[in-house]
Copies of this chain bind each other. A is one copy, B any other.
Amino acid sequence: MDVGTAEKKDCLESLRRSLAERFDDRAAVREQHGKDWSRLPAALPDAVVFAESEEDVRVVLETCQEFAVPVVAQGHQSSLEGHILPVQGGVVLNMTRMNQILRVNEDDFDAVVQPGVTRKQLNLHVRDKGLFFPVDPGADATLGGMASTRASGTNAVRYGTMREAVTAARIVLPGGRVVQAGSRARKSSSGYDLVRLFVGSEGTLGIFTELTVRLHPIPEAVSVGICPFETVAGAIAAVVDAMRYGLRVARMEFMDALSIEMANSYSALGLRVAPTLFVEFDGSPAEVTASSEVFGEIVAQHGGIDFSWSQDPAQRNRLWQARHESLYATNAWRPNAEVWRTDVCVPISRLADSILAAQADIEASGIAAKILGHVGDGNFHVAYLIDPNDSAQRDGVRGMIERLNLRAISYGGTVSGEQGIGILKLPYLIGEHGEPAIETMALIKNAIDPKGIMNPGKMGSDVGMFAALQAAKGEAAS
């Protein structure tokens, strides 16, 4: 989208007048809002608005629509695929000041929050009521950002993702109309499912100003187990059996041998260097004991070595330590390395194939990379460690990421289990969904955002898709 300089200037002046000190176009503030956690280069917005109310958001979307100026909403800025980079400039809406928890309905197990509330903030707030919010993508992200990317994390296998967690939302559309989507009912057959259309739309259709999210009772008991395996295939076979048995799995995490080696190096844990499953069950004390014992029998049938588990909180933390510290262990392993992270999600029947092929690819490349995943869901991440002085390694990793994505598609899976599309995954969107689905997405995008001001250069609009495709190829060639 080309925005005339005069129009943009008028737009910014109008916003400055309307929003007073919530409007900021100083260079340092713009720079701060030009990056995320992805490996992409920064992209400068023309100005930043620190929204403090729905009315602020409404004014921005009305004004930017009038002048056809891009709008990109940002929360914790922890996206890994470039979602929030203002690649066509325009206005960044910083949503972090809209951080009020408006209401907790204990009997209904839900809370109404502003989009700048973080998941940890919400959990701290509801803990005394015996409730918790389960979706945990690692970073202490804002709920608005998590809803926008359809985030999930370790316990999605039991509690679902943001797709299931958000039951209602207030959304400002380009032009400034405010939609109330969904209700506080736990289920509904009333009308098109606007909530789930906007969840995962990555700021390309509208901006959340209020979310109603489901909470869950804190389980009475939790048990955690850890089990190294002789082979990756054995570990995954145990996962399938546990799911088939209907065990009340709250988390089911896999770490490969290198992940364990890094963890040992980081914290002297002395774990056996082998493909390893971490599992968590919740429920009553009797239930979790029973589940742990059944799981012990299952792992024994698949080459599991020395399964240990505990309900004791201190012991549980010790068992989870390798998994919890995984991010830091990776960063510490080769402190100067560039870490590129990606994820895919496949049907569980193809999980072993997917992980083994990724491993073979890594071994053939000679580049260090660890694999870990939320295997109960068929979702896994690869973190590649690139020597920044060896640009050939970047090309090698780009090739591996491409093959990883294409294999996920060929296995009936998806190129993003939870990190989202952003910019880096755009080239694979057509391969996964096919042209008719992408065209349908573009029809919806154009109907709701006819001027293409919402997070342009990202998914939805043809123009954005192909521009981003070219940008990604340019980045790949750089």
In this complex, what residue of B is CB-closest to A285? B290
A interface residues (Cβ-Cβ under 8 A, vs B): 105-110, 130, 149-152, 156-157, 160-161, 163-164, 173, 177-181, 183-194, 196-197, 199-201, 205, 216-217, 219-220, 240, 243-246, 248, 283-284, 286-287, 290-291, 294, 345-349, 377-379, 408, 412-421, 425, 429, 432-434, 436-441, 443-448, 459-460
Establish whether residues A194 and B347, one from each chain, have CB atoms under 8 Å apart when the complex forms.
Answer: no
Q: Distance in Å from the Cβ of A238 to the closest Cβ of chain B?
A: 12
19 residue pairs from A and B, CB less than 8 Å apart: A106-B244, A161-B189, A163-B193, A180-B433, A183-B412, A184-B347, A184-B413, A186-B377, A191-B200, A192-B205, A192-B444, A192-B460, A193-B199, A196-B196, A217-B243, A246-B283, A284-B287, A287-B290, A446-B447
In this complex, what residue of B is CB-closest to A415? B190
Given contacts A177-B436, A437-B179, A417 and B193 within 8 Å (CB-CB)? no
Which residues of the other chain, B, contact A441 by a CB distance below 8 angstroms? 191-192, 194
Establish whether residues A109 and B346, one from each chain, have CB atoms under 8 Å apart when the complex forms.
Answer: no
Looking at A378, A436, A460, the one whose CB has the most chain B CB atoms below 10 A away is A436
Given contacts A164-B164, A183-B413, A220 and B243 within 8 Å (CB-CB)? no
CA distance A278 to B45 in the complex (A): 58
Establish whether residues A183 and B283, one from each chain, have CB atoms under 8 Å apart when the complex forms.
Answer: no
Looking at A290, A294, A439, the one whose CB has the most chain B CB atoms below 10 A away is A290
In this complex, what residue of B is CB-closest to A345? B185
Query: How many monomers of this protein are in the complex?
Result: 2
Looking at A183, A219, A418, the one whose CB has the most chain B CB atoms below 10 A away is A183
Q: Distance in Å from the Cβ of A403 to the closest Cβ of chain B?
A: 17
Establish whether residues A190 and B436, one from each chain, have CB atoms under 8 Å apart when the complex forms.
Answer: no
Establish whether residues A347 and B412, one from each chain, have CB atoms under 8 Å apart when the complex forms.
Answer: no
Establish whether residues B417 and A187, one from each chain, have CB atoms under 8 Å apart when the complex forms.
Answer: yes
Which residues of the other chain, B, contact A243 by a CB distance below 8 angstroms? 109, 217
Establish whether residues A173 and B416, one from each chain, have CB atoms under 8 Å apart when the complex forms.
Answer: no
Which residues of the other chain, B, contact A217 by a CB distance below 8 angstroms? 243-246
Establish whether residues A416 and B246, one from each chain, have CB atoms under 8 Å apart when the complex forms.
Answer: no
Given contacts A186-B345, A187-B152, A220 and B246 within 8 Å (CB-CB)? yes
Q: Distance in Å from the Cβ of A321 to the closest Cβ of chain B?
A: 26
Establish whether residues A434 and B179, one from each chain, have CB atoms under 8 Å apart when the complex forms.
Answer: yes
Which residues of the other chain, B, contact A194 by a CB distance below 8 angstroms? 437, 440-441
Establish whether residues B436 and A173, one from each chain, have CB atoms under 8 Å apart when the complex forms.
Answer: yes
Which residues of the other chain, B, contact A105 by a CB distance below 8 angstroms? 347, 349
Q: Distance in Å from the Cβ of A20 to the closest Cβ of chain B?
A: 27
Looking at A178, A180, A201, the one whose CB has the most chain B CB atoms below 10 A away is A180
Contact of A459 among B110, B191, B219, B248 (CB under 8 A): B191
Which residues of the other chain, B, contact A416 by a CB distance below 8 angstroms? 188-190
CA distance A420 to B193 in the complex (A): 12
Q: Distance in Å from the Cβ of A290 to the closest Cβ of chain B?
A: 5
Known contacts A163-B193, A186-B377, A287-B290, then 8 further A-B pairs from the complex at CB < 8 Å, ordered by chain A residue: A150-B189, A160-B187, A186-B345, A188-B345, A194-B440, A196-B196, A219-B246, A220-B246
CA distance A346 to B188 in the complex (A): 9
CA distance A156 to B200 in the complex (A): 24
Establish whether residues A185 and B150, one from each chain, have CB atoms under 8 Å apart when the complex forms.
Answer: no
Which residues of the other chain, B, contact A439 by a CB distance below 8 angstroms? 177
Given contacts A149-B189, A185-B347, A432-B190, A130 and B244 within 8 Å (CB-CB)? yes
Q: Distance in Å from the Cβ of A246 to the closest Cβ of chain B?
A: 4
Q: Distance in Å from the Cβ of A354 to the closest Cβ of chain B?
A: 11
Establish whether residues A192 and B186, one from each chain, have CB atoms under 8 Å apart when the complex forms.
Answer: no
Q: Distance in Å from the Cβ of A18 to the closest Cβ of chain B?
A: 21
Which residues of the other chain, B, contact A150 by a CB distance below 8 angstroms? 188-189, 193
Q: Distance in Å from the Cβ of A79 to the closest Cβ of chain B?
A: 11
In this complex, what residue of B is CB-closest to A289? B286
Q: Distance in Å from the Cβ of A119 to the closest Cβ of chain B?
A: 16
Contact of A444 among B151, B408, B414, B447 (CB under 8 A): B447
CA distance A101 to B386 in the complex (A): 47
Establish whether residues A286 and B283, one from each chain, have CB atoms under 8 Å apart when the complex forms.
Answer: no
CA distance A346 to B148 in the complex (A): 26
Which residues of the other chain, B, contact A432 by a CB distance below 8 angstroms? 183, 190-191
